[in-house]
Amino acid sequence: GNAYVTGSTDSGETSLPVTVGPDLTYNGGGDAFVARIDGGSAAFEYLGYVGGGGADAGSGIAVDGTGNAYVVGTVTTSGTGFPVTMGPDLTFNGNRDAFVAKVRYTAPVCLPAPSGEVGRWLGDGDAVDSIGGNNGTPVNGAGFGSGLLGQAFVFDGSDD
């Protein structure tokens, strides 16, 4: 099978072999990255950045049955520097916030999760459930509750 990898890098595009991906330009401060590695050839099918000008990091990745990757992580980029387009909370709330991004396999593009599916939390130990839901692992007193799409996150006001 294929391997999916996320994390953080301080490497610019001249030293990181970016191919197709959400963003092919290093934005400074440390960017999250996402990669799909072909199981047969060990070549990058895609490798790109997910981040803005602050210290951004991918901390979990899950894949659905069609090859879409769901990346969760933390972001310290404020303002318009981080490419947020839709979701329950589009505002940087200080210190660090979480993000979730969907990378489509057919044409890797960074897409935020649909509104009501997830908010901002410390993403860690991400997983996809049996119906393709991306549940993540909330911390610091956050938990799960019913939401618009069947499950949402309940926040405690600390680091969310």
Residue 101 predicted with pLDDT over 60: yes
Q: Quote the tokens at residue 69.
A: 């990757």
DSSP state of 128: B
- Cβ–Cβ under 8 Å, residues 32 and 97: no
pLDDT in tens, 6-51: 999 999 888 888 887 778 888 888 888 999 988 889 988 888 888 7
Q: What is the residue extent of each domain of the chain?
A: 3-154
Type of residue at 17: P
Q: Quote the tokens at residue 10.
A: 């301080």
Is residue 80 helix, strand or coil? helix
- Cβ–Cβ under 8 Å, residues 121 and 96: no
Dist. CA 104–CA 66, nearest whole Å:
9
